[in-house]
Amino acid sequence: MDYYDAARVYWERGWLAIPLGLDAQGYPKRPLSTGWPTLTPSWDVISALQWNEAHGIGIVLGSRSNNLCAIDIDDVTLADYVVQALALEDTPTRIVRTVRDRLHVYVYCRDGMDSHPLHLFWDNRDITVELKGTGTQVAAPPTPGYRCLDLSDPARYPSLRDAWVYISGLVGIATNVAESASYPAPWQPFVAKGQRNQSLYIEANKLREAGVPFAMALEWLEWRVTQQYEPGDWNWIECQKTIESAYRKDTPPQDSAWRSSYGTTAEHFGRWQR
């Protein structure tokens, strides 16, 4: 498939694709189109771009691609751990290996699509993870060196930060988000809609730190969510994923035994729906 045809396929998925040229290191990462962050997402605009000069294809992230975002993991070892951890989950998402064997994890976000880098200390070294949303783009297949490991539709999260909180919890990265000043205090008597996911994550962390078993935390937090969290477009699958991300912090990604102690997300979903 050439880049023009690939752009058409991406457009049919609702994603805005642009032609890429070579950067200073010889990688196909540089947008050829001036003003690409503000391009109108229409096929007439896309088809008129410089596809005959392309060395690769990029996807414009954020609102111009129906809130598509990407978590760019710039470390081979951490990328391997994330691939293993996501393979154990029952909610697949689109994963792409990059030309340098790093990783792009694609997600949809309802809001919170602002891009920013995260500087982490993991495995005794400094690592950069970039949360990429509005105003950014990523090279994508069939660009040389880029390949899909999972062709699933991107998973959906309330925000790009929430997506990273979940994924970082799977591989045991301490991001300190539970102590961040931007997150609400735990155990408030009423939790408004805009703070539900952050509050639930913090409270799950507090229970984990206190040694509360996961199954018991699920029951306690289910009661709290149904009684003291503002109702809305939320369901138990989303709640349980948030709780899981807190409890997976201390669990290596290869170890799935903890999951068998309480069952799958699908089994618990039948117990509570809004």
pLDDT at 29: 92
Question: 28 preceded by cis ω (within 30°)?
Answer: no
pLDDT at 53: 96
Q: Which domains does the chain have, with CATH numbers?
A: 3-170 (3.30.2250), 177-269 (no CATH)
Q: Is 115 left (phi over 0), alpha (psi -120 to 50) or beta?
A: beta
Please report, as a single letter, which amino acid is at residue 131: L
pLDDT at 265: 37
Torsion of CA 192, 245, 261, 152, to 10 degrees: 100
Torsion of CA 135, 139, 140, 142, to 10 degrees: 140
pLDDT at 11: 97
Calpha distance 98→108 (Å, rounded): 19
pLDDT at 273: 35
pLDDT at 181: 38
Residues 6+ apart with CB under 8 A from 203: 186, 187, 221, 224
State which residues of the chain have pLDDT below 70.
Answer: 174-184, 248-274
Nearest to 149 by CA among 157, 158, 140: 140
